[in-house]
Amino acid sequence: MATIKDVAKKAGVSISVVSKTFNNYVDVSEETRQRIFTVAKELNYTPNIVAKNLSSKKQMTFGLISSGVLNDNVKDNNAFDIFKGVYREVSESRFELSIYLIDSQKQKQQSYVQYCRERNIGGAILQGIRTDDPYYKELINTDIPCVVLDIMNETKNGMIGSVSIENAQASKEMALHLLNRNHRRIAVMCGTKETYVNKERMNGLEEALQSYGMSLSDVDVLDADFSEEAAYELTKAFLQTKQPTAFLCFSDLMAFGVMKAVKEAGLRIPEDVSVTGFDDLVFSGFTTPPLTTIKQDFVEIGKAAAKLLQDIKENKLERQHIWVKHELMVRDSVKTLSSH
């Protein structure tokens, strides 16, 4: 395996000139640069980025630690859109990106701190991580700069930032969308109770109900763990004893499960039952009928997270939390009921 010394020798330059060439220093002539690249290609030499990081005092790699990619639903592209946003932002900076895919609920192999230390990672973005994950708690209490997605950090650690949409506000807007159209018999399809986003969406729903003189006890709440299959099974069982005028779902995946069960029960959407979602997945505009939902810009969330992490790393932090805009996408899955 060729080394930097081999390249320098064959190109007739010093090791430092080869190093400068691969680090894009401007004081290397274009002719020399091209000669070094040609020799490197001939010798099949590539610079060792990990070694370069370890030998330099500055940690120039960011880690994206994600649990979201390992879910098995092909319709859910959220994690990949976040990847795109993070990658786009990091690729335009002077940092490298290292990706670590885990299952937060089964995570037993290696702590995030250990992962970051071993790779000399200078900062981490955490996506799809649960707050009850002990490795999450360990990481946010260290001196490693971190940005968490969809979790409001419960720490005074100034090295921690967070990015999300205003989940409570978005949920409130969706609930009001149904209430304003005279829906009162509402079934709420909730996600995973322990998650920050689920708690926030419940808060928003509660605020909307209160503005109509109602409370959570006036609606049916079902827990489907953000699962399409669980939402389908719960809806099937629920419709055998009750028929709401609307299902308010805390994710599009759950809405897909609800829509399937509603149709199998011989009911029409929205003529008999209205359905709403949350996320605006790619498939949501193509369901029958197209799904009314909350649009989250996951690419922008990823970009904002990478930018915030750079700001923390470079001591340019102006605010610790970034709100990314959401949008209520009104489509054809909600019917306006008569007020009588």
Asked whether the whole model's pTM tops 0.85, one would answer no
Question: Residue 3, Cα to own-chain centre: how many angstroms?
Answer: 39
Enumerate the β-bridge partners of residue 276: 248, 292
**pLDDT value at position 155?**
67
**pLDDT value at position 39?**
93
Instruction: Please give the torsion angle defined by the CA atoms of residues 81, 285, 203 and 242, in that order, rounded to the nearest 10 degrees.
Output: -140
Give the C-alpha separation, 309 to 95, whole Å.
Answer: 11
Annotate 102-113 with DSSP letters as a single string. --TTT--S--HH
Kindly report the backbone phi and psi dihedral angles of residue 65, in degrees, each rounded to the nearest multiple of 5, phi listed first: -100, 115
Q: Give the contacts of 140 (CB within 8 A, at least 6 positions apart).
A: 146, 148, 153, 155, 157, 160
Helix (H) or strand (E) holding 164: strand 160-164
| Tens-digit pLDDT string for the chain (340 aa) | 788 999 999 999 999 898 888 776 767 888 998 899 899 989 988 776 555 544 454 578 999 998 866 565 667 788 889 999 999 999 999 899 999 887 655 555 568 888 888 888 999 999 988 777 788 888 888 888 999 999 876 667 778 999 999 999 999 999 999 999 999 999 999 999 888 899 999 999 999 999 999 999 999 999 999 999 999 999 999 999 999 999 999 999 999 999 999 999 999 999 999 999 999 999 999 999 999 999 999 999 999 999 999 999 988 888 889 999 999 999 999 999 998 6
**pLDDT value at position 266?**
98
CB 51: neighbour CB atoms within 10 A?
11
Q: Please, are residues 61 and 119 in contact by the beta-carbon 8 Å criterion? A: yes
Percentages of the chain per state (helix, strand, coil), in multiples of 5: 40, 15, 40
Q: Please, are residues 257 and 232 in contact by the beta-carbon 8 Å criterion? A: yes
| Amino acid (one-letter) located at 128 | G
